[in-house]
Amino acid sequence: MSQHILIHPKTHMRVLSRHEIQHLTEAGSSAHELLKRCAFAVLSAGSQEDDYTNLEEGYRQFSIEVIQEDRGIALHISGAPAEAFVDGEIIRGIREQLFSVLRDILYVQEGILKTHSFDLDSSEGITNAVFHILRNADILKTDQDPNLVVCWGGHSIPRNEYEYTKEVGYHLGLRELNIGTGCGPGAMKGPMKGATIGHAKQHIRNGRYIGITEPGIIAAESPNPIVNELVILPDIEKRLEAFVRLAHGIIIFPGGPGTAEELLYILGVLSHPENSRIPFPLVITGPQEAAAYLRDIDLFIGETLGAEAQNRYELVIDDAPKVASLMKQGMERVKAYRRAHDDAFFYSWSLTIDPDFQMPFDPTHENMKALRISQGLPGHELAANLRRVFSGIVAGNVKADGVQRVRKHGPYEIHGDPAILSGVDRLLQAMVEHGRMKIRGDYKPCYRIISDQ
């Protein structure tokens, strides 16, 4: 462990007011605890550990303080993981990510939550808040044609799947497309790593590798070191909205409950009647070894959301060039549509996102039990509730609050139509069998399926 390190910013956040510093350093304050947890996650990049209880051991020895100096600010850090340093010097990318954490926490606390400038109980207010957070982080680029491909997938995947994500990223990079991911390891790192080679061959020196995360999951999915633009949204719903409003297309690789949550989110959004004509290239893909699992996902979507949802994506097995070509072709359709409808290239205002996908969902035992899982719901509403089911399972597996709740109160109860819930249970069991939940020891489900008769 590295002790008593003083870190100065090199690119941004050089000065803060006394009020801001006091807000961030006040022991026990929510802002300080958030800064500490997110900073520890950034400094832990490279760790293969994603078990919350094991991560907590190192976290208890860690401290961070924002201090004012004559010519700016510095971070005083004690107990940082050794992987963040080379010969006693912090890795440059990690330093930049640290100050991105500081920037976003401060802006959300001071510019969004405290000022009440945005009505976070309304759909429009949430969309505007997401826009302002991204703009403050300098993520929105007004001078670029559609070229951002968001890649979703598991953070704990076998080597062959990781190599496939790199190959897809390489072909995206050759087509001069940029990459956005959830910023962690596995299927979030692979496409970025592959794209760096594709960009290098095309002599692209300003490739974008955007990482979008949120405090509840960053500890289990520390930002990988390739991320050169990191932004932290305040909750999972705003993170997902940021993804789909920034993206010009999405690729989904094999993953676990978190990836299923993301897939249900985008399919629910695209299933909304007002979005039926909006072009949005969406591909589900993986290597040949993952074909059976990907077909299980396709079957699950067909059984729950129907053929209309299946028609919104392409299923591609073991063909990285085809995946990249589909994305490149899709960019042209996105560009033409947005020009025709006066929608910005850098942030899709025209996409309708139902409030059910925007309002933060707290996966308490009561809220999980109250979810309506019924075939009688419109497709986008059923997708919203299924997304919440998987959100709760992610929380019960890796998020601090969720893990503690399940320990205290036992597994979540999930009620609903037998036909749908049997599909949910089959998919979750397939995730366990295929090793899609990287939890040490024997996996004990944090949920219990109860069919309504």
Q: Which two tokens stand for residue 223?
A: 């930002």
Containing structural domain, residue 392: 361-451
- Kindly list the distances between the CA atom of residue 291 and the CA atoms of 298, 398, 432, in Å, as whole numbers in the listed order: 10, 27, 16
125 lies in some domain: no
pLDDT digits (tens, 9 = 90+) for 182-238: 998 999 999 999 999 999 999 999 999 999 999 878 866 789 989 999 999 999 899
**One domain for residues 96 and 171:** no
Mean of pLDDT over the chain: 88
Q: Are residues 41 and 93 in the same domain?
A: yes
Q: Does 392 have pLDDT greater than 60? A: yes
pLDDT of residue 453: 63
Cα–Cα dist 262/348, whole Å:
18
Q: Say whether both 228 and 91 belong to one domain.
A: no
Average pLDDT over residues 152-174: 95
In a domain, 122, yes or no: no
Quote the pLDDT of residue 438: 56
Domain boundary (328, 355, 382) is at 355
Whether 121 is covered by a domain: the verdict is no
Closest CA to 348 of 284, 278, 417: 278
> For the chain, how many structural domains are there in total?
3
Write down which residue in 114, 141, 167 finishes a domain: 114
Residue 33: its pLDDT value, please?
85
- Give 360-383 as a DSSP string: -----HHHHHH----TTS-HHHHH
- Sheet of 63-69, strands arranged across: 5-7, 72-78, 63-69
Work out the angle between the directed axes of helices 18-25 and 30-43 (0-180°, nearest 10).
80
Angle at 166 between CA 162 and CA 168, to 5 degrees: 115
What pLDDT does residue 56 have? 65
The 10 Å Cβ neighbour count of residue 63 is 15
The string over 323-350, giving b where at least 16 C-beta atoms fall within 10 Å of a residue's C-beta and e elsewhere, is bbebbbebbebbbebbeeeeeebbbbee
Q: What is the CATH number of the domain that holds 39?
A: 3.30.1850.10
**Same domain for 286 and 174:** yes
Strands 72-78 and 63-69: antiparallel
Please indicate, yes or no, if residue 127 is contained in any of the structural domains: no
pLDDT digits 0-9 by tens, 165-184: 999 999 999 999 999 999 98
Both 268 and 211 in one domain: the answer is yes
From 355, 376, 410, give the residue that closes a domain: 355
Residue 30 has pLDDT above 90, yes or no: no
Confidence class for position 156, pLDDT limits 50, 70, 90? confident
Alpha helices in 63-112 (DSSP H): 92-107
Would you say residue 16 has pLDDT above 90? Answer: no
**For the whole model, what pTM was predicted?**
0.90
Shared-domain flag, residues 250 and 345: yes
Question: What confidence tier does 445 reach under pLDDT thresholds 50, 70, 90?
Answer: confident
